[in-house]
Structure 1
Amino acid sequence: MKNVRNDAVGAMSPELRPLTLGILAIITCAAFEAMAVVTAMPVVARELSGESSYGLAFSMYLTASLLGTVVAGSWSDRKGPGPALGVGMALMIAGLLAAGAAPDFWLVTVGRAVSGLGGGFMIVAVYVVIGRSFPQQVQPVVFGWLAAAWVLPALVGPVIAGFVTVQFGWRWVFLGVAPIVLAAFLLVRPRTRRIGPLEASDTGPAKARTLRGFGLAGGVFAAQWAVVRLADTARSDAGTVWSLAVLAAAGVVVVLLVLPALLPRGTMVLARGLPSIIATRGFVNVAFFGTEAFIPLMLVTSRGIDPGTAGLTLSAGAIGWSAGSFVQARVSFDRKWLLVAGSSILSLSLGGFALATTAEAPLGVLALVWAFSGFAMGMTLSSTSVLVLKLSQQHEQGRNSAALQISDQLGGVVGTAGAGALFALLRDDGNPGHLPTFVVIWLALWVFTAAGIVSGLRGASSAEDGPDRTPSKSMEGTVPA
C-alpha cells in the first residue's frame, strides 16, 4: 500500500476511509477493554483477596507495555506495522483469557501483563500507520477521532461491565472482551499488511534497543514489585525489609541506566523541543492514570457505590478526553502551547478532585471535576502525538513513536505503582474505605502536574517546525538545552 501524502486527501477520502475505520475499530476495542477491566477490578481484588496488590494489576500491564513498545518500534521500522499489530492483538487476547480463568489474584496480574505486552505492540503499530499513511495536516484530525473512539466505550463499558460483574461474575468481563478484540483485528488486518517497511531506512541498533527494553521492563518490574511488597510487609523481619529495599534500589538503578538510550537525548534533563515534549507526556500520565486506577476502588469501598455506577466517573473523564482532543485539532496557534495549557488544567482539576474527595462531594461533582482532567489529557496527549510525528524523520517515526509510548507507559507505571504502594502502606484493614488514604494519593500525584507545566514550557520554547528543518530527531540527537 502506497503512503498517501496528497495534501488534498482527507481521512475519509475513498483511499483512506477503510484504513481510518480499521484504526478506529482497534482503538474502540482497546478502550472498551480498559473501561471494562477498571470497572470490574475492585470486585476482582475483593473476591481474590488482592487488595494489597491492587495497583500491580494496572502497573504490570503498563510495565509489559514498555517492553512491547521498544520491540515494536524497531520492528515496525524494519518490517512495517503489520506484524507488530498481529502479534499485539494475539497477546492481548491471550492475556484476557488468562486473567478471566485465573484462580488467584497474582495470575490475574500475569494475564494483565500479557495483555499489556500486546498493547505495547499494537499502539506503536497504529502510530506508524498514521505517520506513514496520512498527510501531516490530517493527522491532528485522526488523533482527535481516536480520542472520540473512547466515547461509546466510556458510556457503555462501565455499565455493561458492572452489569456482567454483578449478574454473571467478573470473569466474563475478561472473557467477553476477547472476541471483540479479535473482530477488530480481522477488520483492520487487510488494510495494514500492505504497509511495508520503507525502501531505505536506517533502523539503528535494533538488537541493542531490544535488550535495553528487556532491561527497562525488568528494572521497572523489580522496583514496583519490591516497593509494593515493602509497603505491605512493614511488620516483617529486618532481613526481608532490607532485601526488598535493595531489590527496589537495584531496579531503579537499572531503569536509570537503560532509559536515556531509549529516549531522545536530553529527555531526562528536559532539553528544549522534542525531549521535553516527550517528558511532558510522562509527567501528566503519572498524575492522571495513578488517580484513575483508584477512583473506582474509592467509590466502591468509601461510598458503597456499585461498580457500574462508580465506573461512570471514568466515563466522564473519557468524554472530557474526547472533547480536549477535538479542541486541539482545531487550534490556529502553535500547538506546543497546548502542552502548557493541558498540564495547567490537569493541575487545577486534580487539586479540585482531592478537595471534592475530602468534602465527600456528590458523585456528579466528582464526575464533573474528573471530566476536566480528561479534557486536559485529551488536549495534551493528542498534541504530543502530532508533534512527535511532525518532528521525526519518516524512517524514525517507529522509534520516536516508541519513545513517546515509553514515556506514556512509564508515567502510568510510576503513577499506578506509586499510588499502589501508598495505598498498601496507609490502608486500614478494618476500614478499607478510609478517605484520607485516597486524598494523600491524589495530592502526591498532583506534584507531577507541576512538573508537566515546567516540561511543557520547555517543549514550547523550541522554534523548530519539523524534520525538514533539522536533519535528525532520533534517539541519538535532538535540540540542545
Structure 2
Amino acid sequence: MHGDTVSVVREDLFGRSRRSVTVGIVLLISLIAFEQMGVGTAMPAVVAELARVEDYAWPFVAFIVTMVVGTVLGGRVSDARGPRPALLAAPAVFGLGLLVAGTAGTFAQLLAGRMLQGLGAGAQAVAVYVLVAQVYAPRSRPAVFALISSAWVLPSLVGPPVAGVVTEHLSWHWVFLGLLPLVAVAALLVLPAVRNLSPPEPTVPRRGVVPAAFAAAVGVAALSWAGSHPDVRGGLVALAAVAVLVPALRRLVPPGTFRARRGIAAVVAGRGLIAGAFFTTTAFLPLLLTAVHGWSLTAAGLPLIAGSLGWSAASAWQGRHPDLPRPMLLRIGMCGIAVGAAGLLLVAPSWGLAWLALPFWLVAGLGMGLGFSSLSFLLLAASTEVGYDSAAAQLTDQLAQATFVGLGGTLLALLAGPAVALSVLLVVLVGLAVVGVAIAPRTAA
C-alpha cells in the first residue's frame, strides 16, 4: 500500500467525522467478545450457586438460540430501515440482558438474561456490517475488518483471566454488571454516525424469514441437547432437529449456499467452513493437551494465545493491502487452517509431540486472520441485501460451530479415549478446511 493510500484510509477511519463511530464499532464488538469469552470462565461459579452441574450447558445454549433469532431480525430490520433501529435497540437489549443476568438470584433469571444478551448480540453484529457498508469506502473496509478482528482477539487473551480475577475477588455477578457502563459508551459513540444515514434502497421483503428464524433456533437448541446425549433418544432428537433446520435454512441463506454457488452463496458457505474448522478445533485443543498429555490449564491455553496473535497480525497485514485479491487471500487462509489442524494429528496420540501445538496453531491463526477478514470484505462486495446476507453468514457460522462441537462431544462419548475421538474429529475438520480451499475462487463477485 502506498503512503498516500495509507493516509486516505487512516483519515476514513480516524478522521474527525469518523473517529467516534470507528471506536464505537470496535467497542461494541469487543463487549460481545469479552462477554462470550469471560462467561465461560465464570460459569462454574454461576452454576455452583444457582443450578446443578447437569444444567451447565444451558446458559450457553440460551445465548446461541436467541442469537440466531436476533441475527435474522437484525438483518431484516437493517434491510428495511437501515442499521439505525438495530444499532439503537440492540445495545439496549444486550445491556438489559447483562443487568438481568448480573442480578440473577435464580437459574431461570440467569437464562432470561442470557437470552436477552444473545438477542441483542445477534442483531448488533449484523447491523455493524450494514453500517460498515454504508459509512466506509470499499478501499477502507479491509482495515475496518482488521480492527473488528482485533476486537475479538484482545478479549480472547484478557477475557478469561480478568473474568477469573473478578469472580474470585468480587463475584461472578460483576462479570456481567461490569460491562454495563461500556455498553452505554459504545452506543453513544455510534449514535452520531447513524443519526443522519440515508434510508436503504427498497427491496422486496422475503416471506417467511421470521418464522424460519424461530424454527432454526429450535433446531439449534435440539442439536445442542442431542450432542450431549449420544444415545438413541439423542439420535432421534438430532434427526428431528435436522428435519426442522434444513427447510428453515433454505429461507435464511442465499440460494445455492449448500452447493457453494459462485458469488454471495460461496461467501456464506465459506463462513460456515472457516468457523467450523477453526473454532471447533479451538474448543477442543485445551482438552487434548490436558487429557492426553497432562498439561496444566494455563499451559494448554498457550497455543490459543499463539493462534489469537497470529489472527491479529495477519488481519492487520491484509488491512494494509487493499489491492490484493480477496479470494486468493481466502484460499491461502484456508490452507493455513488446514495445515494447522492437520499438524495437530501429530499431537493427538499419546505418543504425539505436544509442543507442536504451538507452531501449528500459530499457522492456523495466521490463516484465520487472512481468511475471516477476506470473507467479510467479499460479503459486502457481493451482497445486494447486506442485512440478509450478513445474517446468513452469521447463521452459518453459528450453526457450523454448534454442529461440529456437538460432533466432538458425541465422538468423546462413543470412542475409546480422547486421543482417538479427537483424532477422528481433526480429520473431519481438516476436510472442512480443504473444501474451503476448493471453493475460495468461487467467492469472487
TM range (shorter): 0.7 to 0.9
Task: Find the residue that maps to 1:15 and give its secondary structure.
Answer: coil
Cα 1:32–1:361 shift into 2, 3 Å: farther
Aligned to 1:215: 215
Unaligned runs of 5+ in 2: 1-7
Cα 1:211–1:151 shift into 2, 3 Å: closer
- Per-residue CA shift, 1:115-168, capped at 9, x if unaligned? 222111010010000001111111111101111233443443232122223333
Aligned to 2:330: 339
Aligned to 2:205: 204
Aligned to 1:144: 146
Unaligned runs of 5+ in 1: 1-6, 235-240, 428-433, 466-481
Pair 1:452-2:441 in alignment: no
Aligned to 1:440: 421
Q: Decide which structure has greater helix share.
A: 2
Cα 1:66–1:181 shift into 2, 3 Å: same
Cα 1:203–1:280 shift into 2, 3 Å: same
Note if contact 1:216-1:259 (Cα within 8 Å) is conserved in structure 2. Answer: yes
Aligned to 1:118: 120
Cα 1:41–1:352 shift into 2, 3 Å: farther
User: What is the distance in 2 between the residues matched to 1:426 and 1:50?
Assistant: 24
Q: CA RMSD in A?
A: 3.3
Task: Find the residue that maps to 2:179 and give its secondary structure.
Answer: helix
User: What is the distance in 1 between the residues matched to 2:284 and 2:180?
Assistant: 24
Aligned to 1:479: none
Aligned length: 435
Note if contact 1:26-1:184 (Cα within 8 Å) is conserved in structure 2. Answer: yes
**Equivalent residue for 2:389, pick from 368, 385, 400:** 400
User: What is the distance in 2 between the residues matched to 1:392 and 1:219?
Assistant: 27
Task: Find the residue that maps to 1:11 and give its secondary structure.
Answer: helix
Q: What is the TM-score when the length of structure 2 is the normalising length?
A: 0.85
- Per-residue CA shift, 1:392-434, capped at 9, x if unaligned? 23xx1111111111112222222333334445x259xxxxxx9
Aligned to 1:274: 264
- Per-residue CA shift, 1:65-84, capped at 9, x if unaligned? 22111111110111221221
Question: Following TM superposition, by how much is the alpha carbon of 1:204 offset from its aligned partner in structure 2, in angstroms?
Answer: 1.8
Matches within 5 A, 1:135-284: 135-198=137-200, 200-205=201-206, 208-228=208-228, 230-231=229-230, 234=231, 241-242=232-233, 244-284=234-274
Question: Following TM superposition, by how much is the alpha carbon of 1:220 offset from its aligned partner in structure 2, in angstroms?
Answer: 1.9
Task: Find the residue that maps to 1:66 and give its secondary structure.
Answer: helix
Note if contact 1:322-1:378 (Cα within 8 Å) is conserved in structure 2. Answer: yes
Question: Following TM superposition, by how much is the alpha carbon of 1:380 offset from its aligned partner in structure 2, in angstroms?
Answer: 1.2
Matches within 5 A, 1:316-327: 316-327=306-317
Larger mean Cα displacement after TM superposition, 370-379 or 55-64 = 55-64
**Equivalent residue for 2:135, pick from 133, 136, 152:** 133
Matches within 5 A, 1:3-18: 10-18=12-20
User: What is the distance in 1 between the residues matched to 2:291 and 2:168?
Assistant: 16
- Per-residue CA shift, 1:37-78, capped at 9, x if unaligned? 233345556676765565554454333222111111110111
Cα 1:26–1:247 shift into 2, 3 Å: same
Tell me: higher relative CO, structure 1 or 2? Use CA pairs within 8 A at least 6 residues apart. Answer: 1
User: What is the distance in 1 between the residues matched to 2:277 and 2:357?
Assistant: 16
Task: Find the residue that maps to 2:250 and give its secondary structure.
Answer: helix
Q: What percentage of residue pairs aligned between the two structures are identical? A: 36
Q: What is the TM-score when the length of structure 1 is the normalising length?
A: 0.79
Question: Following TM superposition, by how much is the alpha carbon of 1:323 offset from its aligned partner in structure 2, in angstroms?
Answer: 1.5
